[in-house]
Structure 1
Amino acid sequence: MVKIPKDLGDKDMFKGYAEKETFETMFLSGEEEPRTVIKNKIKEDLNTAYLTKDLQEKIGKLLLDLKMDLYKDGIIDYEIKVKKMGMDIVLSAAANKSKART
């Protein structure tokens, strides 16, 4: 009888083992991602659905310009606030107030 080595990991135990395809497993190979992952992707896509690649690039460039202007003014710690004003969406930078440590 062959001795079974101790303290093997899962990968080592199944090394060289090939599972035979059965009726149940042949349909699983073509299955894609689980539904929960697909639902999460749909939610993520809805957040950026209205922003084309061109628009994302323009917004990114303008935000970089804003960041550089704030840096020139000595403002490093800031946050971007988003407001809807009528038919416009306004992004504004607000400097974070530094908390005094005692």
Structure 2
Amino acid sequence: MGKIQKDRSDSEMFANWQEDSSFENMVDGQTESHPVQRGVKSDEKGVQSFFTPELKEEIGKALLELKVNLYKQGIVDFKLTTTVKDQQIILTAMPKKAIKK
């Protein structure tokens, strides 16, 4: 066994080291781990550029008001559909299940 060299960087020490596959580092049968990329996709950046913080807040308040009104009518599960008509974007709440009375 040789002498341990001092003042080496981490990349120099682990230059030729390869980790063995085990249950701890193997996911779904893959032997290589891939770094997780976080952040916003480039397509989403373009879409989100339409929404200013003020517009996000205004739309959020309107959706909350819609949700409260639907709850008062007994509709809890609903989905929103979007349509474009002339210069308007229309959000319509559609119940997922039939209304039970």
TM-score, normalization by structure 2 = 0.57
Distance 2:75 2:42 in 1: 37
Distance 2:10 2:48 in 1: 44
SS in structure 2 of the partner of residue 97 of structure 1:
coil
Q: Which amino acid aligns with 1:73?
A: Q
- Relative distance call for 1:60 and 1:67 in structure 2 (3 A) is same
Could you tell me which residue of structure 2 aligns to residue 19 of structure 1?
9
- Relative distance call for 1:20 and 1:84 in structure 2 (3 A) is same
Distance 2:90 2:50 in 1: 16
Could you tell me which residue of structure 2 aligns to residue 27 of structure 1?
none
- Relative distance call for 1:45 and 1:20 in structure 2 (3 A) is same
RMSD value, Cα: 2.8
Deviations 1:25-47 (A, max 9, x none): xxxxxxxxxxx878x53222112
Could you tell me which residue of structure 2 aligns to residue 7 of structure 1?
none
- Relative distance call for 1:61 and 1:18 in structure 2 (3 A) is farther
More helix by share: 1
Name segments (4+ residues, structure 1) moved above 2 Å: none
Q: How does 1:76-91 map to 2 (within 5 A)?
A: 76-91=76-91
Could you tell me which residue of structure 2 aligns to residue 66 of structure 1?
66
TM-score, normalization by structure 1 = 0.57
Q: Which amino acid aligns with 2:95?
A: A
Q: Is residue 46 of structure 1 aligned with residue 36 of structure 2?
A: no
**Aligned residues between the structures:** 69
